[in-house]
Structure 1
Amino acid sequence: MRDFHFPGRSAVHSTNAMVATSHPLATEAAMQILREGGTAMDAAIAGSAVMAVVEPQMTGIGGDCFALLAGRSGPVVAFNGSGRAASAASAARLRDHGHTDVPIDSVHAVTMPGAIDGWFRLHARFGSLEMARLLRPAIGYARGGYPVHARVARDWTRAQAHLAKRDATRALFLPAGRSPSEGTIHRQERLADTLDLIARKGPRAFYEGEVAEAMVRTLRSHGGVHTAEDFSAVAGDFVDPIATDHHGRTVHQVPPNNQGITALMMLNLLEGFDIASMRPGSAARLHVEIETARLAYAMRDRQLADLASMTVGVDDILSKSWADELRRRISPDRAMTDIGPLGLRTSDTVYITVVDRDLNAVSFINSIFDSFGSGILCPETGVLFQNRGHSFSLDPDHPNAMMPGKRPMHTIMPGMVTENGRPVLSFGVMGGDYQPIGQARVIADVFGQRLGLQEAIDAPRVFPQDGVVEVERSVPSGVLSDLEDLGHKLRVANDPLGGAQAIRIDRDSGLLTGASDPRKDGQVAAY
């Protein structure tokens, strides 16, 4: 139980339905859908669409989505809604121009937007209300205006230099020459028109016709090689989830090109430590977390790619025997010194989880990757393009090498935990590369150390970087000193590490417990 002498927030409890998002307007839109009898997927789409308007630095219809879904019984369903590189994308061309990676703010980092296709495919299988109803709140906020919330305003201010580089982007997102302050009303009328067209005519109105033609013109005007055929070919996939057993529960992730396998590997490594005996937030607990993360991230950066391009199989990576072998490298008394550069960074994402009155659970994530994505805006449509292609490698021998029509390694990862085949936790932890360590942390804290869901999300965070561990300012000074004694070099993080939303399901009582990360503007709502 939290100490009520200090600021904080309590977990939310209900027995009917619940939604948790990173923005209060999205939470309310999704909650209203549930009250009208919509499914968990209906609510997730409605909430995600609102966030695509009111959190433009984090997400948008120019980005991608992933989802995990679990009903009362039956297998967990996974969906990969990530876009591919353009059919004329060329790593060799970028190398010839002197690039060692895909420039993060260039048109070459723009992969095809998979979110709209994903929303409609998921809705066709799991939705009940009309799509026009689900998109109505987002259209209303885009056309009529939405108040900029605190975390959004903070992120927006930090992105001003990025937004100022291109005329159309600057005109929309830097009105009066600066970022909007908290409480300012902001509008995206061209985006409202595009969403309205999609609501009336379906996804083909986005991927073909005038909207697609305008997006192609914009990208090619910036030197892109994208074509109308690239847009019309966008198609997400229902895929078999991957999973690992962890202390009697099964943790599910979307398979590669998604990085969810990284969190599963971390859990396999953590399983060999007596987490329950460690004091939450102690240096010993954080040391184990840091070291297992470093091993798993090193594997990710060597091996993870679009599944067809991987040279090491998923079963091999998730082998408990391989985890046992790797774990021997971890000393409880000293940080490893033989882990090479990891190149990790945080980025921007939104996440939503919903459980409806039938206890169907949806874990849903939507992103444009970096803050305001590529920074390239299509002025006729209001679509801001993602820069997910930055995740590609330009090394032709790497499994994740950029190739035409290939999906890049993808950081956004919804999570789901089941027990005896039924969902008990639907959750996500945002923050680019931080997400695997964040998810492993929440699972270990909730199920291993038996922390409350909100308590686990609130806890101070650490994140290993190249030769240094970033720490939030909330990590106690004594713990910092102990970590330094173990050989860790520490640096205070400039930004809070990630964000999280979660709903826990007690199958015996029917109790739903929700938690929302104070690092974001969001909240939990229920009835």
Structure 2
Amino acid sequence: MVVSPHALASEAGARILAAGGNAFDAAVAVSACLGVVYPHMTGMGGDSFWLVYHAGEGQVRAYNASGRSGRLVHRGLYAGEPHIPFRGIRSAITVPGMVDGWAAIHRAYGRLPFGEVLSPAIRYAEQGFPVSAGQAAFTREAASALAQDARAASVYLPNGCAPEAGSRFVQPALARSLKRVAEGGREAFYKGEIARDIADFMRREGGYLTRDDFADHAGRWETPLFGRYREYTVAQVPPNSQGFAGLMILNMLDRFHLQSIEHGSADYYHLLIEAVKLAFRDRDRYLTDPDFSPIPLDRLLSRPYAAELAGRIRMDRAREADAAPMGRDTAYAAVADAEGNAVSFIQSLYFEFGSAVAAGDTGILLQNRGSFFSLDPDHVNRLEPGKRTFHTLMPAMALLDGRPAILYGTQGGEGQPQTQTAVLTRIADYGMHPQEAVSAPRWLWGRTWGEPRRDLRIEARVGRDVMDDLRRRGHPVQPAADYDGCMGHAHAIVIRDGWCEGGVDPRSDGQVAGI
């Protein structure tokens, strides 16, 4: 089974499975395809994080495919500015890790030839595909940013405006770059023509990444972080991912008997939101590249600390808290095959269309992930050369008896730990089908980029009584549309008794594809 936020990507993964590929082949195919058919959310110029389970090895491994800031990038380049720009060439300061992630997963576990795995993405880039409703809407929102870069505008704003849903969308330059990678592997991207073309473009346009930055890039296999929730063992990617915040939330909730709390009640939403706030406080205090600053994970993920935090939750009153604004463009997907292999992965450009800069003639949109670095020299996530920034991306995997049972994750920056918690509790505590779990009403506490407010947005279909109750407890409730895209695009696969059950978010353009 494959779940992803775009139907064509899900179908591409299913075709790879049907052709004899395994979950790892299919996951790379889905990832590459999403970078073509979901260009507002992800692409070759972004980052990714992976959790993989190989049935023969019997263990979960994590791969961190996030990029570091360039060796010439430092805070002095932005002297006198309040923050790193969110758009434009000066926001593209971290090396894209995406292609390295494809290569690492495929090299370790793939079965089919690399070129065959990338062929669906190449075909959609070269021959085109119908623009989804989501792509059309997000392009309209980002049109002013895309218009600032002539190459980006020529592709994403054909005829000077956002393409209509259903119109054919082609990306010939991106197809050429994908073909180079299909033929030359990761070396073509990091040490070959693509690296040269991007670096030359950077130099001409006043950017900061160099050919040496690309040549030096390497992702990393890492040991996942593990936590317990009910009978499940839950795996998350370690920092610089915010995954540990998700485990902290579960550690707190594991001390409450959720089955005695009505799902969808004000008590349910209040409890989960309060746990999120407490976890975010520590996340914002510590999260950065652990190579530059230690993160006390042993304490943060300990049961005694969870008990201490849980004891601070008042069921009658919301606590004051704050959170920095986050980007929301991301694509989560998962694959499970008949051999027992499983992949849970997530990828992003950070903001919609990333930096909104297309790198020369490569057709590759560059991420603006590095714009989340702080220019404050005392901030734990301060900008420094060769550093990975605080990353919102966090794929999840829950295991029973050492084998994958739930693959889940979501698009949506600040909302990722919140929505993951909703999905897992709905499946684990309330016995919901994964489709029911991702479709049920959701909330988003905090801020997203471009919005100064710190509200609790909650889909209005929770009902007026629930919203009024939450307001009485001190939550700054703002009703959202019934299936509001600001809640992110969550997907899940539940594996049990030799069967897969999937759920794909109705807020996305996605699809469940099984064979």
Normalising by structure 1, report the TM-score.
0.93
- Match in the other structure for 1:197: 180
Which amino acid letter does the alignment assign opposite residue 480 of structure 1? M
The CA deviation at 1:269 is 1.3
- Match in the other structure for 1:104: 86
CA distance in 2, matches of 1:230, 1:406: 12
CA distance in 2, matches of 1:336, 1:426: 31
SS in structure 2 opposite 1:384?
A: coil
Which stretch of structure 1 is more off in the superposition, 446-455 or 81-90?
A: 446-455
The CA deviation at 1:153 is 1.5
| Structure 1 residues 387-402: aligned runs within 5 Å | 387-402=368-383
CA distance in 1, matches of 2:88, 2:250: 36
CA distance in 2, matches of 1:223, 1:299: 36
- Match in the other structure for 2:492: 502
Which amino acid letter does the alignment assign opposite residue 479 of structure 1? V
Aligned to 1:76, which of 46, 60, 71? Answer: 60
| Structure 1 residues 450-489: aligned runs within 5 Å | 450-465=431-446, 467-489=454-476
1:405-446 CA-partner distances (Å, limit 9, x unpaired) = 110011111110111211111111111111011111111111
Q: Structure 1 residues 353, 279: CA separation in 2 closer, same or farther (over 3 Å shift)?
A: same
Aligned to 1:414, which of 395, 399, 411? Answer: 395
The CA deviation at 1:467 is 4.3
CA distance in 2, matches of 1:199, 1:514: 30
Contact 2:485/2:508 (<8 A) preserved: no
1:181-223 CA-partner distances (Å, limit 9, x unpaired) = 1101111101101111111111111112332121112223332
Contact 2:331/2:410 (<8 A) preserved: no
The count of aligned residue pairs is 504
Which amino acid letter does the alignment assign opposite residue 142 of structure 1? A
Contact 1:257/1:409 (<8 A) preserved: yes
Which amino acid letter does the alignment assign opposite residue 491 of structure 1? Q
Contact 1:164/1:170 (<8 A) preserved: yes
The CA deviation at 1:56 is 0.6
CA distance in 1, matches of 2:24, 2:192: 28
Which stretch of structure 1 is more off in the superposition, 185-194 or 306-315?
A: 306-315
The CA deviation at 1:152 is 1.8
Which amino acid letter does the alignment assign opposite residue 322 of structure 1? Y
CA distance in 2, matches of 1:472, 1:379: 41
Task: Confirm or deny that 1:93 pairs with 2:81.
Answer: no
Contact 1:27/1:523 (<8 A) preserved: yes
Contact 1:71/1:422 (<8 A) preserved: no
The CA deviation at 1:132 is 0.7
SS in structure 2 opposite 1:496?
A: helix
Contact 2:415/2:445 (<8 A) preserved: no
CA distance in 2, matches of 1:416, 1:502: 10
Task: Confirm or deny that 1:173 pairs with 2:151.
Answer: no
Aligned to 2:354, which of 343, 348, 373? Answer: 373
- Match in the other structure for 1:515: 503
SS in structure 1 opposite 2:460?
A: coil
- Match in the other structure for 2:170: 187
1:79-101 CA-partner distances (Å, limit 9, x unpaired) = 0000000001112331x2x2232
CA distance in 1, matches of 2:227, 2:168: 45
SS in structure 2 opposite 1:307?
A: coil
Structure 1 segments of 4+ aligned residues over 6 angstroms from their partners:
none
Task: Confirm or deny that 1:160 pairs with 2:143.
Answer: yes
SS in structure 2 opposite 1:326?
A: helix
CA distance in 2, matches of 1:333, 1:358: 48
Contact 2:373/2:389 (<8 A) preserved: yes
The CA deviation at 1:283 is 0.7
1:447-488 CA-partner distances (Å, limit 9, x unpaired) = 012222111111111121264211223331221111111111
SS in structure 1 opposite 2:95?
A: coil
Which amino acid letter does the alignment assign opposite residue 368 of structure 2? N
CA distance in 2, matches of 1:473, 1:200: 50
| Structure 1 residues 190-229: aligned runs within 5 Å | 190-229=173-212
| Structure 1 residues 49-448: aligned runs within 5 Å | 49-72=32-55, 74-94=58-78, 96=79, 98-110=80-92, 111-337=94-320, 339=321, 341-448=322-429
| Structure 1 residues 3-82: aligned runs within 5 Å | 18-72=1-55, 74-82=58-66
CA distance in 2, matches of 1:199, 1:495: 33
**Which consecutive unaligned segments of at least 5 residues does structure 1 have?**
1-17
CA distance in 2, matches of 1:454, 1:367: 23
Which amino acid letter does the alignment assign opposite residue 476 of structure 2? K
The CA deviation at 1:344 is 3.6
SS in structure 2 opposite 1:350?
A: strand
Normalising by structure 2, report the TM-score.
0.95
CA distance in 1, matches of 2:210, 2:254: 48
SS in structure 2 opposite 1:255?
A: coil
Contact 1:429/1:435 (<8 A) preserved: yes
CA distance in 2, matches of 1:273, 1:355: 31
Contact 2:485/2:507 (<8 A) preserved: no
The CA deviation at 1:346 is 4.6
The CA deviation at 1:71 is 3.1
Contact 1:108/1:389 (<8 A) preserved: no
SS in structure 1 opposite 2:329?
A: coil
CA distance in 1, matches of 2:296, 2:386: 22
CA distance in 2, matches of 1:33, 1:311: 41
1:343-372 CA-partner distances (Å, limit 9, x unpaired) = 243511111111111010111112111100
